[in-house]
Structure 1
Amino acid sequence: MGPEDRFCEACGTDLLRRTGSTAPAASPVACAGCGEPASEDEYCQGCGLRRRDGTERVELDLEVLAGVSDRGLVHARNEDAVAVGRLRDGPTAAVVCDGVSSVHRPELASRAAADTALEALLACDDTRPAAERVRAAVAAAAAAVAGLPAPPGAEPPSCTLVCALVHGPESDGPEITIGWVGDSRAYWLAATQAGEPARLLTRDHAWAGEKVARGELDPAEAAHHPLAHAITRWLGADGEPEPDLVTLRPAGPGALLLCSDGLWNYLPDAADLAALALPVLDGAGPLAAATALTAVALDAGGRDNITVVVVPVRPRTERSS
């Protein structure tokens, strides 16, 4: 094999891209409630429990970024999805999606959106600017979700999405382009020596966030309103899949964090997230940091699915003379 080879001649492995995503078990598993033998049925015929599909806990480690998705302690199924990847000598990308629990099979929307968006973000022949690539990725994800079937009378699958494309370090240092629809979030976790604050990079497409942005409610009032978590944009039928975008050029080292509301509902402050994640990241790497953040949400009650992606980002270092 040569350095320009795309696929391994022996096994067919893609040598240019490394990816990982939420994927159900290759074959059905026995019911976790009563032990009823494996079946293709969505619900166990013995006890009526919705069957698990092997996605209750997903851990993805590509060394340069990592993700964890966990069912939590209350939901019967993990309706979140995560997809991460990197191109050899190129960008890294990550996608986090959160299924809308009130619709039919929301986990299908999350998985379709995450996989489709990642594929578009890492398209080897796409030379467009990062912002155009991110918009195209979200549009492709929206189309994939809109095409999912639903039984008559049921609300079709839908989800939120946040994704990131990370270039660099190059001549001007790393560049991060983020796109999102809904209330899954992106944070910049700045290291202490970075000389810039840790901060939330996205603004929720949700009733509460929009009321606060317009000055109609203060954050405390909005957080306790019955409609606080009602989203105003989503991917799926009757949704508004138009993303907002933001580009970040970090001034110093730190980490990009993508997460679903299963984490930020418990730990919404960027400085608190940085204080917890960065020491673990420095000592043990991105998977350990993502695991530590997930554990915080589980320890706090785990009332929702939890998905976390951590991407270490370091500025360009000057070459030694």
Structure 2
Amino acid sequence: MTLSLDYAALSDVGRVRRNNEDSAYAGPHLLLLADGMGGAAAGEVASAAAVQVIRKLDKSGISGEDMIEALAGAVHRANERLSELVEEDPEREGMGSTVTALMFDGQQLGLAHLGDSRAYRMRDGLLYQLSHDHTFVQSLVDEGRISKEEAFTHPHRNLILRVLDGRPDSDPDLEILDVRAGDRLMLCSDGLPDYVSDEVIAASMADGTPDSVVVELITHALEAGSNDNVTCVVADVVETQPSSGSNAQLVGAAAELAQGGTGRGEPTVVVPGHGSGGGAGGAVLDPEELRYAPRPPKRFPWLRRIAVLVVILGLIGGVGWFAYRWTQNQYYVGTDGDYVAIFKGVEGDIPGLTLSSVYEKQNLQVDKLPTYSREQVENNIQADDLPGARTIVSELQRTADECAAKAKPTPSPTPKPSTPKPSTTVPAPTVTVKPPATTPSTTPTTGTVNPDDCDGVR
């Protein structure tokens, strides 16, 4: 069974306010409401921008869990749009908007919610709130500190904690909801539930068409003395496509701005009935001044950006300076042309910056070292510090000296032949004496360096 929506949307600037900061949209696949805030900081711009971005989801082909991903992405893009608007005009700093959206795929609903606007469902004569208020008093209710009835009259019931405001922490509540034929859905700004009880809302939604229900609900809010904008979207879930639901509806600030207006319409004529009247007698405190605690506009934002850039560059420069100073406390032994040298710094270079230089050039020639020691020096020998580098050079010099000494063997001295003394007594017979069968020694003097270690000395 294929289901569809029969919907209606209506927005009223209210009895006190001179500008409508609410925006709403109703289409075959999307019901959307945004309540802007920030007073002089362009709340109507915020709500209209949010609706204009998110309303693009009103199309077929997105269903099931994909609706959650699509809603999250659309809210994120709307948040980025608000950030861009603040960049374009710093006077808008502090503006924000609630977002409550129901996406419909013919079988289920996808809910995205941020702020204190509300989503309701009427089923079998019972009214159920689908969204959860992001307000201070709702947090007190959740903690059990006050009752729901006390929250209705709490002096800070309009203080909102989470909104779409162009900052990176504006994440909405997301949920998939079931839907069936006969359900009646309703979205509204806080101008309705802050002044009209759930019982009265339920009674109004129990009968009539979506068009008549939105009129009746807004009338109840105005009669109850609501001093805020009041916006409602009502949709019936039906089994057949009604002819009245073929065209999407855009109301509130989004509609006025889309037509080239300013979003600042004339206040609605006072409806006879209950209430103390409009703003004829004295100044009336704008409720938006007590809501969401708009941040004051940031003057000279380019100075802040420059300051941040200077701090970042300073940190990078400081880290670079300390790193360079560290390299200049390092030493190693290497080659400088044909001679051994002590280098200060580390191996390698950065374009435009030399990290090492000759600190002490030695008199020791590289080719006077044996092959193994020469290869070590050519590959650079790291030292712990300058004394350590000098110790390495001393060891290399000792090795070179010992190898040089072993390269010059010293022969053993040849003994002189002895001359026999003439006898003064009886002449003795002549005796021929053969020299000993030995030869002079030519073995080099044994040192502390193995002769094999001196291979390669030039």
1:118 equivalent to 2:55? Answer: yes
- Describe the shift of the 1:155–1:225 C-alpha distance in structure 2 as closer, same or farther (beyond 3 A): farther
1:275 equivalent to 2:203? Answer: yes
Counterpart in 2 of 1:155? 93
Counterpart in 2 of 1:17? none
Aligned ranges for residues 38-53 of structure 1 at < 5 Å? none
Aligned with 1:307 (options 215, 231, 235): 231
Is contact 2:62–2:105 with CA below 8 Å preserved after alignment? Answer: no
Aligned with 1:253 (options 142, 159, 182): 182
- Describe the shift of the 1:144–1:153 C-alpha distance in structure 2 as closer, same or farther (beyond 3 A): closer
Counterpart in 1 of 2:34? 97
Counterpart in 1 of 2:115? 182
Q: How many residues align?
A: 235
Query: Mean alpha-carbon deviation: is it higher for 109-118 or for 95-104?
Result: 95-104
**For 1:214 and 1:315, how far apart are their aligned partners in 2?**
41
Counterpart in 2 of 1:47? none
**For 1:125 and 1:280, how far apart are their aligned partners in 2?**
31
Query: Identical aligned pairs, as a percentage?
Result: 30
- Describe the shift of the 1:315–1:126 C-alpha distance in structure 2 as closer, same or farther (beyond 3 A): closer
**For 2:220 and 2:192, how far apart are their aligned partners in 1?**
8
1:165 equivalent to 2:165? Answer: no
CA offsets 1:232-278 (integer angstroms, 9 cap, x no match)? 11011447421112332135512110000011112241x53232123
Aligned with 2:45 (options 83, 108, 112): 108
- Describe the shift of the 1:108–1:134 C-alpha distance in structure 2 as closer, same or farther (beyond 3 A): same
Q: Secondary structure at the match of 1:204?
A: coil
- Structure 1 residue 122: deviation in Å? 2.3
Please, what TM-score do these two structures have when normalized by structure 2? 0.47
- Describe the shift of the 1:233–1:266 C-alpha distance in structure 2 as closer, same or farther (beyond 3 A): same
Return the index of the structure with the highest Cα Rg.
2
- Describe the shift of the 1:273–1:198 C-alpha distance in structure 2 as closer, same or farther (beyond 3 A): same
AA at the equivalent of 1:184: S
Is contact 1:191–1:278 with CA below 8 Å preserved after alignment? Answer: no
**For 1:175 and 1:63, how far apart are their aligned partners in 2?**
12
Q: CA RMSD in A?
A: 2.5
CA offsets 1:270-312 (integer angstroms, 9 cap, x no match)? x53232123112xxxx222211211111222231101100110
**For 2:135 and 2:208, how far apart are their aligned partners in 1?**
31
**For 1:275 and 1:94, how far apart are their aligned partners in 2?**
22
Structure 1, unaligned stretches of length 5 or more? 1-61, 87-91, 169-173, 317-321
- Structure 1 residue 123: deviation in Å? 5.0
Counterpart in 2 of 1:32? none
Counterpart in 2 of 1:134? 71
- Describe the shift of the 1:167–1:217 C-alpha distance in structure 2 as closer, same or farther (beyond 3 A): same
Query: Mean alpha-carbon deviation: is it higher for 249-258 or for 197-206?
Result: 249-258
Counterpart in 1 of 2:170? 241
Is contact 1:103–1:156 with CA below 8 Å preserved after alignment? Answer: no
AA at the equivalent of 2:85: L
1:208 equivalent to 2:162? Answer: no
**For 2:39 and 2:144, how far apart are their aligned partners in 1?**
29
1:66 equivalent to 2:8? Answer: yes
Q: Secondary structure at the match of 1:298?
A: helix
Q: Which has the higher helix share?
A: 2
Q: Secondary structure at the match of 2:234?
A: strand
**For 1:224 and 1:155, how far apart are their aligned partners in 2?**
30
- Describe the shift of the 1:182–1:147 C-alpha distance in structure 2 as closer, same or farther (beyond 3 A): same
- Structure 1 residue 93: deviation in Å? 0.3
